[in-house]
Amino acid sequence: MILKLFEAGELVLRRPSRELTSEEIVSPRIQDLIGSMYETMRAAPGVGLAAPQIGMPLQLAVIEDRQDFIDKLPPGHAAARLRSAVAAHVIVNPRLTLEDGGNVEFFEGCLSLPGFTAIVPRALAVRVDCLNEHGEPVTIHGRGWYARILQHEIDHLHGTLYVDRMLTRSFMGRENFERYWKDVPVGEFRKVTDV
C-alpha cells in the first residue's frame, strides 16, 4: 500500500523517533509497514524513506538505490558521487559513526521537501550499527552516495531535515536546478554563485 508522504511543517518530521524492540520489528504490523514503506519509496520515486516521513515516529527506514536510477544520470555523475547500486534493506534503531575521509558536498533533495534542492555537506564514509528487518544486529559501512543516503535517513529519525545542514545560499527549486545547474560541478557552482 502506498502511504501518504508527510511534508515539511508536519510536527512528526521535527521530533526524535522512538526505538523499536526486536519483538516489535518482527511483528506483523511492522513487517506490513516495512512493505508499504518500500512501495511508497519506489512510487515516489526515492532512494530512502524514514518512518517519520509517513507519519510514524519510529526509528525505522528503508533504503534502495537502484541501478536504473544510476543509469539515468548524466555521464560522470555516478563516478563523481561514488554512487553505485545499493540493494534494498532496512535499518532500525541506527547508531551513526562518521569515519575518516572528510566531507563532500553535493546537491540533495528530499521527498518531504518536494520540488527543492540544496548543497549539503556530508561525511564521505560512515559506519551504522543497527538492527535489520529480522531484529538482528548488523553493521553497515557506507561510502560516497550510500553514506549520504544513510546520513539523510538517520537525520529524519532525529527530527532533522537537510535544510538544517544545507548551504543556505544554494537552496533552489528543482526546476531551476535541472535547467541551470545539474551538470555543473559543485565547486564550480560555488565559485559562480559565491556560496
Helix H, strand E, coil C: the string for 17-62 is: CECCCHHHHCCHHHHHHHHHHHHHHHHCCCCEEEHHHHCCCECEEE
Structural domain contains residue 1? no
Structural domain contains residue 141? yes
Residue 35: give the domain boundaries.
11-193
With a pLDDT cut of 70, the percent of the chain lying above it is 100
pLDDT of residue 195: 82
Structural domain contains residue 120? yes
C-alpha cell at 144: 560516497
Structural domain contains residue 137? yes
Cα–Cα dist 89/188, whole Å: 35
Lowest mean pLDDT among 40-44, 70-74, 131-135: 70-74
Please confirm, yes or no, whether 23 is among the known catalytic residues: no
* 161: pLDDT strictly greater than 90: yes
pLDDT of residue 149: 98
* 138: pLDDT strictly greater than 90: yes
Residue indicated by cell numbers 533533495:
109
Structural domain contains residue 111? yes
pLDDT of residue 183: 87
Mean pLDDT over residues 43-66, rounded?
98
Number of domains in the chain: 1
Structural domain contains residue 18? yes
Please, what is the average pLDDT of the chain? 96
pLDDT confidence band for 75 (50 / 70 / 90): confident
Instruction: Please write the tens of the pLDDT for every residue from 120-133.
Output: 999 999 999 999 99
Structural domain contains residue 5? no
pLDDT of residue 179: 95
Rounded to 5 degrees, what are φ and ψ at 167?
A: -80, 105
Active-site option among 10, 153, 175, 178: 153
With a pLDDT cut of 90, the percent of the chain lying above it is 92
pLDDT confidence band for 53 (50 / 70 / 90): very high
CATH of residue 41's domain is 3.90.45.10
